[in-house]
Every structure is written in C-alpha cells, then in structure tokens.
C-alpha cells in the first residue's frame, strides 16, 4: 500500500520512520520491497553518482531524471525529491521547479531552511519536507551545527518556522543528539535525523554510504550495512581474468 504523508505524520511517537536516498530504478525497487517508508532523491547524487565535488552543481533536470527512475521502481514508498541549490530563490521559481519534480514522479519536495518559500509551496498544494542543521547547499563549514547556545536556538527557531509554514516533516542534519531530542520534542511533525542522534522520529542515510559504495570519506554518523565496493571490484577483476584467460563465455553462455 502506498505510504502517504498522513501516515508519516501519524508515526511520530509511535513508530520510527525509515528513509534512504536512491537514484535509480533497481535500487528503489529493492528498497520498496524491503519496506522503506520514504525514498529521497537527494542532491547527494552530485558527489556519489555524478562525480562532482559537492552538491551545488546538481540541476533540477538531474533530479527530474533520477526521480523518474526511482518512481518507476518504487510503488509503495513515499517519494521526496530535493529542490537543488538555486532552484528556489523565489516563490515563483520554487513552484515551477517543484511542479516539474512532482510531474517526474515525486510525491513532495525537500528544501533547506526558507520557511517563506515552504509556506508558499504548501499554500499552492505542494507538500514540503524541511531541512535544518547542516544544509549542504549553503553551509561552507561541514562541522556539527548547534553546539553553541546561540546557534542551537537559531536551529530550533528555524525548525519551528518550517513547521508553522506547513512542512509535514523536517530533516535534522549534523547536530548534537541533545539538540535533536529538543527539536523532536518541540515539534508536532516528525523529525528525521542524519547525524542527529537516536531521539529523532526517523533516520536517513545516503545509500552509497550505508552500502559501502562511496569511499571518498565516511561521516561519523554512517553505519555501513554492506561493503559492496569490495564485492564489485572482485567481480570486475574476476571478469577481466576470465575474459583474458578465455574462460568466458563458456558453451552454456552461447546460442546454438
């Protein structure tokens, strides 16, 4: 059965929400079959899929293409697509780009901060997931946010402003676990943490990180559930060896 925003909101305080990124049809299909609640087509694709140094070069067209692929693979999970950097600089631009992502297969969109933009989108019947803490589209120093009282209070206020703007859910990234707990308890909508501790209403990871596919660096908050890079390299080496030694293809791989 298709996961709805109403269901996600009802899970707060009752059942933890599971969320992962995906960028292709096959991966989305397997996640869906595993029972994932939310699939995010994240601008993280810039680094883990497209080979950029950061997320800033990702375009709306990139997100659209990968959103379509994910939507064709996942029939049950709620699908949320990132509005990438510079795609929601004004109300009108945000609405236009959000509608493009919805038409590509997303159920809703995610933005970083910007409660006024979020409010405009919600008022125009576009559901929005918020994002506070480390916000990769704007932050220049990728370190834990909210350790100081003043910064923590700003993050709390931003989360509350996004809730008031109509966001159905808010991602908390890279903040101390006690701040994650404070925000989760202060909001009526669910929080989903990534490096924000165990007290959030759900958790999200980048799929390439948790599968051990991205080895440029591994954030402290990542748990690797597999080490697929090693498996893939072994498979590729075995293939090269078989081709060179004329062990592939065998007769069973041939047509007669």
**Which residues are known to be catalytic?**
173
106-to-56, 83, 110 alpha-carbon distances in Å: 21, 11, 10
What does the alpha-carbon distance between residue 119 and residue 41 come to, in Å, rounded to a whole number?
A: 22
For residue 154, give both structure tokens.
């700003």
Q: Are 204 and 44 in contact (CB under 8 A)?
A: no
Query: Is there a cis peptide before residue 249, judged by omega within 30 degrees of 0?
Result: yes
């Amino acid at each position: 059965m298709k996961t709805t925003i109403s269901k996600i909101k009802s899970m707060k305080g009752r059942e933890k929400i599971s969320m992962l990124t995906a960028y292709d049809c096959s991966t989305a299909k397997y996640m869906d079959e595993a029972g994932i609640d939310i699939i995010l087509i994240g601008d993280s694709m810039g680094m883990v899929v497209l080979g950029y140094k950061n997320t800033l070069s990702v375009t709306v067209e990139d997100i659209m293409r990968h959103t379509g692929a994910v939507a064709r693979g996942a029939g049950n999970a709620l699908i949320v697509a990132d509005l990438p950097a510079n795609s929601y600089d004004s109300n009108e631009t945000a609405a236009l780009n959000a509608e493009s992502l919805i038409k590509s297969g997303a159920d809703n969109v995610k933005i970083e901060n910007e409660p006024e933009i979020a409010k405009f989108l919600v008022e125009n019947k576009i559901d929005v997931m918020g994002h506070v803490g480390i916000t990769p589209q704007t932050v220049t120093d990728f370190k834990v946010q909210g350790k100081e009282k003043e910064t923590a209070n700003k993050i709390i206020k931003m989360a509350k402003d996004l809730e008031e703007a109509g966001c159905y859910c808010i991602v908390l990234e890279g903040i101390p676990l006690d701040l994650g707990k404070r925000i989760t308890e202060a909001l009526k909508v669910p929080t989903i943490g990534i490096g924000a501790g165990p007290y959030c209403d759900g958790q999200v990871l980048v799929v390439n990180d948790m599968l051990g596919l991205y080895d440029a660096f591994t954030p402290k908050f990542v748990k690797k559930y597999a080490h697929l890079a090693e498996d893939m390299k072994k498979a590729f080496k075995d293939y090269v060896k078989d081709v060179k030694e004329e062990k592939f293809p065998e007769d069973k791989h041939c047509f007669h």
